[in-house]
């Protein structure tokens, strides 16, 4: 399936992995719309930008209308919006947990519910979920974040079964990645450097996404794990 001429929507596309994916897709010939809670103003002016907090149902409804007007119905959806949190389960803030779940999991579900029906009607499309190696490796202080990513992968596999054979579903699970993710966690103390395994770049993760999307339509890469070679999990 060619990337050229496709219409893509990337949530969490204002920075980090989402921004790298948007740039790669645009360079490959797609018309991309990106959605995020804010933009720095330094982004390249190569795609449509939309303010949207995916944790809000009405905001996703507004995004749906705006994107349909700006680029038409997307045939490629990348769910990348997410937040990190590091808190001890016996001491953490349940409201913060709720905020993370509402963004990382329910936000992706809202995007699927809004944008995938048009793909089914057209008989083709791709959905990419950006997960994490944490989905399969619980770690201290990371239980809530890991739980959202584990649930996201269950959602992805369920969606794959519900939309086959017309829509492909891919999960990309990065390990430590050199972005502002750790800086923007709701609460936490780690950095890519402090973890000590090295880091992959957002562009390298985006290349993995592009590789999956560039396969023939009859071929699906349903799960890709990409991480620094020195990362043990």
Domain coordinates of the chain in residue numbers? 7-226
Strands 223-226 and 48-51: unpaired
Question: Which value, in Å, is the radius of gyration of the alpha carbons in the chain?
Answer: 17
Task: Quick: pLDDT tens for 116-149.
Answer: 999 999 999 999 999 999 999 988 999 999 999 9
What SS3 class is residue 125?
Answer: strand
Model confidence at 26: pLDDT above 90: yes
What are the helix (H) ranges across 71-201? 94-101, 107-122, 143-163, 192-195
CA distance 131 to 73: 24
Q: What kind of fold does domain 7-226 have according to CATH? A: Rossmann fold (3.40.50)
- 37 by Cβ neighbours in 10 Å (0-12 / 13-18 / 19+) ranks as middle
Averaged pLDDT score across all residues of the chain: 93
Among 79, 163, 173, smallest CA distance to 125 is for 163
pLDDT at 191: 75
pLDDT at 138: 84
Count other C-beta atoms under 10 Å from residue 32's C-beta. Answer: 26
Q: Specify the pTM.
A: 0.95
How distant, in Å, are the alpha carbons of 22, 95, 105, 172 from that of 205? 12, 31, 20, 8
- Say whether the peptide bond before residue 165 is cis (omega within 30 degrees of 0): yes
């Amino acid at each position: 399936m060619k990337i050229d001429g496709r219409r893509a929507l990337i949530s969490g596309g204002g920075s980090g992995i989402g921004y790298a994916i948007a740039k790669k897709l645009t360079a490959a010939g797609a018309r991309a719309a990106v959605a995020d809670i804010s933009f720095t103003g330094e982004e390249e002016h190569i795609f449509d930008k939309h303010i949207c907090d995916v944790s809000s149902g009405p905001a996703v409804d507004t995004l749906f209308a705006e994107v349909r007007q700006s680029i038409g119905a997307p045939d490629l959806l990348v769910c990348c919006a997410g937040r990190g949190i590091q808190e001890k389960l016996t001491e953490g803030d349940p409201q913060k947990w709720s905020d993370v779940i509402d963004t990382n999991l329910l936000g992706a579900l809202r995007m699927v519910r809004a944008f995938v029906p048009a793909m089914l009607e057209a008989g083709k499309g791709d959905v990419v979920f950006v997960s994490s190696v944490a989905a399969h490796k619980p770690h201290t202080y990371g239980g809530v974040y890991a739980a959202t990513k584990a649930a996201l992968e269950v959602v992805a596999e369920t969606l794959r079964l519900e939309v086959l054979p017309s829509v492909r579903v891919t999960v990309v699970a990065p390990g430590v990645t050199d972005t502002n993710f750790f800086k923007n966690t709701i609460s936490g103390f780690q950095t890519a450097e402090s973890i000590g395994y090295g880091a992959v770049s957002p562009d390298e993760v985006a290349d993995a996404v592009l590789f999956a999307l560039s396969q023939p339509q009859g071929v699906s890469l349903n799960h890709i794990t990409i991480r620094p070679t020195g990362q043990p999990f």
